[in-house]
Structure 1
């Protein structure tokens, strides 16, 4: 087809970063604008204003409007693009041949300020497309482009934050711990589903989505020593994108007197420490058949208690006050396993556990 505004081309957007952008898009060819309507440009370290109007080009896949910009690079770069708009928007980056390099359309809705990081493989001109996510996306917007500095320390010491780029194989970073503390290690990315592994000094922990959304979080007590933080993507090596790795710490609890496993006595309250996704197991010997009450409490996490034995499997999440657990059951004589865990991926934290005969 022909148009006064240029040659029209059919473009199919394909798989990018594990998300399929379905549909066929009918767009004016991005390289054939006439001189009367030059393509606006966005520069590194700057921002540009635009607006989606009723007269803007239409994406025939979903009726959304779009506007495109030219981004000129003199060398390979890693960039972060951000869109500020009163509508639910998306950002797409195309190379000189209109090949898809990056796309971000968050499902958080209006005001989500989508960001997309991408690695420009060479110098040249790139196209950045701002679009609404559906036919209701109208209004002014601001598009900014920033170069990402990936200079990283040889190791994070006790705490700190760094940015990295994941592409294909896993990336590792070193963490030096100089004093015993309770550490929170968070891995976040808007581009891929993160997986974080923490190993070293007798520790081996892994998390996929213990953070917000598909982000990762490992919380644990670390002793002085050297640890390896391994960053990868869930489901394979095809994903790529920017990530942020942040380490924070707070004083470790006093573990004196804490009992995290072993025999569970009657009528005696135990205090324990629970790591996320790692239940603590006790053994209970019941000599007399009858009713028993188990109380599990914590101010740090939502508790779950499980009792297994004598062909019974019992569980309670929040039968106590708030998110605490209380389980009452008639138990035959015999040996039981009593497991303490957190609901979902909550933890770590301290808890108290007591079992009494009767109700």
Structure 2
């Protein structure tokens, strides 16, 4: 049945998000055609939803149909404003090709929010625009305007560009990125998160995914930061909450980041504990550094990252993230070689490392553990980890217990730079236990905490044969 039929006009195919077909009814005789007012580009038309408007028999909302003519592969934006809290649907040959979602926040605002919808035409022909109430209580006057949409979709974009874009539904929108200079680049997608929730993907020229992000920017916006060589790439902008919500305005910004001049750190370097900050470039590959100690030493690590979140560890103990890009760790370490690792899931960026050393506080029991002898000591002020040596003479199963009523304990057992086992909570409490078969040899027991530690907090450490 055509759209001009009055009694039961099917205005489109089943809507994917709701699974509901649109049926409308009007009180005039069936043979009387529905009037589809003609819309012209960039000319506002006035209308009003009232009790005589077409009725959707499925959900009870009222609607007014319009029509307009567009060319093939033309980007179009439809805007409805005024007192009406509105929804918009677009049809082609009676088939639904674009629509806005029900706006929950529209009914909670004193002043109605403008409703907008953007889409790309697929044929040079006539299209239908249906302006509907947001719900059964939505009535009132409105203005509707159809206008060509300026967009960089499927076009080549360059660095240092700020694009005012519009999400047009579907899985994503693509932008061809052309890079002329090897450098670190940041790509931001900013929008109203409650309606869109930005999501970004960067692909190489062959369509292989290089990096993706959901909430890396501020306020749940998306941000990609990575080091790119000259060539062509593809940016895919979409919504993290589904293609049906990929509607509305957003900003796409591509920036080339200025790099510090003193990028001297490279993976594999031997670090000095001199308190001097040194910088390096993280390029999506783990970084590892080492330093040597000749005696028990309290080592403090301070690190900052720019543009990416990192997992930074010292001998397997994770540095605490003080804010979004600052990491700290202070640990009492034994003589020997120690390693610092920096890793990140996908992003790239600049990082700094700063290491300082001071004499380790003299603990009454020393730093060597003996089988069956409990160590009752404190975690010194400003220290979050202490490393003990453990020498096993007789192979067998052993239990290592760390207990405290002052903080949440955490245990790691390492040998030759490899973590053999770690434990946070034993039997649903905040104490830690490691039970493992050990061969003869030398081990390291890292007594640390899962969270913050009050100054000079008490704890006990005991290694004993397994029962």
SS of 1:46's partner is coil
State the match for 2:283 in structure 1.
none
- Rounded Cα–Cα distance in structure 2 between residues aligned with 1:182 and 1:356: 41
User: 1:174 and 2:177 equivalent?
Assistant: yes
User: 1:230 and 2:209 equivalent?
Assistant: no
Aligned positions of 1:237-276 closer than 5 A: 246-249=252-255, 252=258, 254=260, 257-258=278-279, 266=298, 268-273=300-305, 275-276=307-308
1:309 to 388, 409, 412: 412
State the match for 1:81 in structure 2.
78
User: 1:104 and 2:100 equivalent?
Assistant: yes
Say if 2:189 and 2:198, in contact at 8 Å, map to a contact too: no
Say if 1:185 and 1:248, in contact at 8 Å, map to a contact too: yes
State the match for 2:338 in structure 1.
none
Q: Give the TM-score of the pair, scaled to structure 2.
A: 0.51
Q: Deviations over 1:306-336 (max 9, x none)?
A: 977353238xxxxxxxxxxxxx999996248
- Rounded Cα–Cα distance in structure 1 between residues aligned with 2:299 and 2:198: 46
Say if 2:86 and 2:138, in contact at 8 Å, map to a contact too: yes
Q: Deviations over 1:290-314 (max 9, x none)?
A: 436678xxxxxxxxxx977353238
Q: How much does 1:355 deviate?
A: 9.5
Say if 1:132 and 1:138, in contact at 8 Å, map to a contact too: yes
Say if 1:33 and 1:39, in contact at 8 Å, map to a contact too: no
Equivalenced residue count is: 310
Q: How much does 1:163 deviate?
A: 5.0
Q: How much does 1:102 deviate?
A: 1.0
Please provide the CA RMSD for this pair.
Answer: 5.0
Q: How much does 1:116 deviate?
A: 1.8
- Rounded Cα–Cα distance in structure 1 between residues aligned with 2:202 and 2:95: 34
- Rounded Cα–Cα distance in structure 1 between residues aligned with 2:307 and 2:447: 22
Aligned positions of 1:1-359 closer than 5 A: 7-9=6-8, 11=10, 14=13, 16=15, 19-22=17-20, 25-28=23-26, 34=32, 38-73=35-70, 75-96=72-93, 98-107=94-103, 109-110=105-106, 111-150=112-151, 154-161=156-163, 163=165, 171=174, 173-176=176-179, 178=181, 180=183, 183-186=186-189, 194-197=199-202, 204-208=210-214, 210=216, 217-220=222-225, 222=227, 225-226=230-231, 228-231=233-236, 246-249=252-255, 252=258, 254=260, 257-258=278-279, 266=298, 268-273=300-305, 275-276=307-308, 278-283=310-315, 284=317, 288=367, 290-291=378-379, 309-310=412-413, 311-313=422-424, 334-335=445-446, 358-359=456-457
Cα distance 1:182–1:193, how it changes in 2: closer, same or farther (>3 A)?
closer
Cα distance 1:50–1:307, how it changes in 2: closer, same or farther (>3 A)?
farther
- Rounded Cα–Cα distance in structure 1 between residues aligned with 2:223 and 2:76: 28
- Rounded Cα–Cα distance in structure 2 between residues aligned with 1:34 and 1:10: 12
Tell me which moved more, 42-51 or 178-187.
178-187
SS of 1:20's partner is coil
- Rounded Cα–Cα distance in structure 2 between residues aligned with 1:329 and 1:276: 33
Q: Which has the higher contact order (CA 8 A, sep 6+)?
A: 1
Say if 1:93 and 1:127, in contact at 8 Å, map to a contact too: yes
Say if 1:291 and 1:331, in contact at 8 Å, map to a contact too: no
- Rounded Cα–Cα distance in structure 2 between residues aligned with 1:356 and 1:224: 48
Q: Deviations over 1:263-290 (max 9, x none)?
A: 7984524122165465334334766574
Cα distance 1:262–1:74, how it changes in 2: closer, same or farther (>3 A)?
closer
Unaligned runs of 5+ in 1: 296-305, 315-327, 341-353
- Rounded Cα–Cα distance in structure 2 between residues aligned with 1:84 and 1:61: 25
